[in-house]
Amino acid sequence: MKYPEVEEAHEARTVNKTRPPKAAAASETKIRGARKSDLPELLEIYNHEVRASPATFDLEPQTLARRKEWFAAHRRMHPLVVAERHGPIIIGYASLSGFRDKPGYSKTGEDSVYVRRGFQGKGVGTLLLKEILARATELGYHTVVAGVVPPNEASVRLHEGLGFGYVGNFKEVGFKFSRWQDVAFYQAFLPVKAARG
């Protein structure tokens, strides 16, 4: 079965090198819509987090077939973007998913951001989330939420730096690494001034 490539709402962009880069990784990073050919690298990034982090509550590594289904679900209203460096190598990705299935939630999205180990803390996540927020705004979303499993100070800084505020905590809703995990929720209302700014 063939899966359509994710529609790109914008042309690929390279970070403006005339501005002082946060790090070399960010200064040479291009953000673009994901392609089906990116899936093996996206799978590698995600499965590392499945094995090493509570950031996702998947307990077993995903298969490529499962990721193809996930990819197919990210069409125009649920954008999926990647961060690419020369090489090329995919160093991270971000997606916007529906918050809940009922139609009354259709203007609320939930973001996910994953950055390849070795490139974290270098501004890549900020570039990805800015693009997701900009696309969400253009698609008519009202608000975007993020679930963060504490302690994850990097994710908290990322979201707060782009206008998200803490709105609440769900206690012990996930079980991973032999312990119960909380999920803290952050929320931003669109448009966010920092998006693609």
Q: Provide the CATH number for the domain around residue 113.
A: 3.40.630.30
Within 10 angstroms of residue 189's Cβ, the number of other Cβ atoms is 12
Residue 57 included in any domain? yes
Residue 197 included in any domain? no
Q: From first to last of its 197 residues, what are the pLDDT tens digits of the chain?
A: 332 333 333 334 433 333 444 545 556 899 999 999 999 999 999 999 999 999 999 999 999 999 999 999 998 899 999 999 987 899 999 999 999 999 999 999 999 999 999 999 999 999 999 999 999 999 999 999 999 999 999 999 999 999 999 999 999 999 999 999 999 999 999 998 766 65
pTM recorded for the entire structure: 0.85
What does the longest C-alpha to C-alpha distance in the chain come to? 48
**Residue 192 DSSP code:** P
Distance CA 34, CA 15 (A): 17
**Residue 38 DSSP code:** G
What total number of domains does the chain contain? 1
